[in-house]
């Protein structure tokens, strides 16, 4: 009897173990993406969030009811994970933010009014980030990307973040423009987390944005969010892995200066500058041994300023015409940065040293602007910068003869290259 009981216990344990195994996803995030999720949720001074996998619910919406703008850059596997055929008709998997208790109800009401089945399906496995976007994975593990929809609860300092349809398609315009310039000549100092697809429903003004994870799933690189580099423990850990005992100096060299070079190259070549240039929008690229490569990863080309002068010189007067008036600049380029804005100061960085980081940033910015444009770094530095809270600000004046000559060079290059190299397709949202 004792042996029989023991056997029954073993069988019971095995049955439970098997049930647990089959309930888990067959595939898991790559180690590099897992590392990003960990940093997003655990090395974030603003809020601590869960890094556990959860099933993401979605509505299956006929594509004919949804505006879409999908670039040819969109990987085929990612496109198939989102848009699929059901009952002979194309549908889109529109995810529901697991934390939302408001906006998906508005979407559900819209679907009911259209006679669409509002069953909540499960397809993606999802992981929280520091904000409202979720990193999602397809059941076969072949697709790992980020999706952003409306939610009235999220990480960080925001409580209600509606993803407007209009904004979703403006992101597509700005991303295409920057990627167009990269196609002509690859950027040296940064790469972009491409956002090659957006979906929107105009009548309720809700959108869904698709963001790729750049080269992260390849296994060649690690990306650490800027706010994690500025985290007391994580920033120190990475510095020590690289043999540095001076954490502040390490990140001044490997985050502040590279970011200056990245934003200067972006501005000089495209006229694009972040409206909210804080550490949520920047990641630091590191190799397999966590050594910074010197490249910055840019994400969320949504709230950005555009210099009309540079866009026109690049042959994109049409883009300037479509741009939101409040974020379109004439005669200048915005040059703002706020590495510590919205974050807590780490123990190894003082307010005094942070102010000095602003000086170092614009020194480096001016040098890189000169490399791109030929305009002397001293000319850029003399335009001066100031500090407001934890933001540093400067405006690059484009009205001098030197700057006009540079714009003419851009214009000549645009004509020589045969005009636009855009690979955009799909329906625009205007």
User: What is the SS3 assignment for 140-187?
Assistant: CCCCEEEEECCECCCCCCCCCECCCHHHHHHHHHHHHHHHHHHHHCCC
pTM: 0.89
pLDDT of residue 161: 86
Closest alpha carbon to 285 in 220, 355, 368, 341: 220
Nearest to 125 by CA among 29, 246, 235: 29
Q: For each successive 10 residues of the chain (430 residues), what is the average pLDDT?
A: 45 42 55 94 84 96 97 96 97 97 97 98 95 94 96 74 93 95 96 97 97 92 96 97 98 98 98 95 97 97 94 95 94 97 95 98 98 96 96 97 96 75 29
In DSSP terms, which residues pair with 200 in a beta bridge?
A: 67, 207
Cβ(243)–Cβ(362) below 8 Å? no
Do residues 215 and 78 make contact, with C-beta atoms less than 8 angstroms apart?
Answer: no
Burial track 11-37 (b if 16+ CB lie within 10 A, e otherwise): eeeeeeeeeeeeeeeeeebbebbebbb
Q: What pLDDT does 10 receive?
A: 44
Name the 3-class secondary structure at 242.
Answer: coil
The pLDDT, as a whole number, for residue 196 is 97
Q: Give the pLDDT score at 153.
A: 86
Q: Tell me the two tokens of residue 207.
A: 């959108």
Sign for the pseudo-dihedral over CA of 33, 93, 174, 181: positive
Work out the angle at residue 273's Cα, subtended by the Cα atoms of residues 269 and 274, and round it to the nearest 5 degrees: 150
Alpha-carbon gap, residue 341 to 15, rounded angstroms = 51
Using CA atoms, how far residue 224 sits from 145, 291, 316, 340, 407, in Å, is 16, 11, 33, 15, 35
């Amino acid at each position: 009897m004792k042996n029989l009981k023991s056997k029954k216990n073993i069988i019971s344990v095995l049955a439970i173990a098997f049930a647990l195994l089959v309930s888990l996803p067959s595939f898991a995030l790559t180690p590099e993406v897992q590392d990003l999720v960990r940093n997003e949720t655990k090395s974030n001074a603003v809020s601590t969030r869960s890094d556990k996998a959860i099933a993401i619910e979605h509505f299956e919406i006929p594509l004919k009811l949804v505006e879409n703008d999908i670039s040819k850059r969109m990987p085929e596997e990612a496109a198939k994970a989102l848009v699929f055929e059901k009952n002979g008709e194309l549908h889109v998997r529109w995810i529901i933010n697991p934390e939302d208790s408001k906006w998906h109800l508005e979407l559900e009401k819209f679907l009911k009014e259209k006679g669409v089945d509002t069953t909540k399906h499960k397809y993606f496995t999802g992981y929280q980030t520091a904000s409202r976007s979720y990193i999602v994975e397809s059941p076969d593990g072949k697709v790992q990307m980020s999706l952003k929809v409306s939610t009235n609860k999220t990480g960080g300092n925001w409580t209600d973040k509606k993803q407007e349809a209009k904004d979703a398609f403006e992101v597509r315009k700005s991303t295409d423009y920057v990627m167009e310039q990269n196609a002509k000549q690859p950027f040296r100092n940064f790469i972009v987390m491409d956002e090659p697809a957006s979906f929107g429903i105009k009548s309720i003004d809700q959108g869904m944005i698709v963001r790729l994870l750049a080269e992260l799933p390849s296994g060649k690189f690690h990306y650490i969010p800027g706010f994690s580099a500025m985290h007391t423990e994580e920033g120190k850990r990475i510095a020590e892995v690289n043999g540095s005992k001076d954490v502040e100096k390490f990140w001044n060299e490997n985050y502040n200066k590279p970011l200056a070079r990245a934003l200067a190259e972006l501005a000089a070549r495209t006229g694009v500058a972040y409206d909210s240039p804080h550490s949520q929008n920047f990641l630091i690229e590191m190799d397999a041994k966590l050594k910074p490569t010197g490249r910055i990863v840019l994400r969320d080309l949504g709230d950005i300023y555009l210099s009309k002068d540079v866009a026109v010189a690049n042959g994109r007067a049409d883009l300037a015409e479509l741009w939101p008036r409040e974020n379109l600049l004439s005669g200048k380029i915005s040059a703002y940065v706020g590495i510590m804005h919205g974050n807590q100061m780490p123990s190894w960085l003082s307010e005094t040293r942070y102010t000095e980081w602003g000086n170092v940033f614009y020194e480096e910015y001016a040098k890189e602007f000169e490399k791109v444009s030929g305009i002397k770094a001293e000319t850029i530095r003399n335009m001066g910068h100031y500090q407001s809270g934890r933001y540093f600000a400067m405006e690059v004046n484009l009205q001098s003869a030197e700057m006009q000559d540079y714009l003419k060079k851009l214009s000549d290059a645009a004509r020589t290259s045969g005009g636009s190299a855009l690979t955009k397709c799909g329906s625009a949202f205007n």
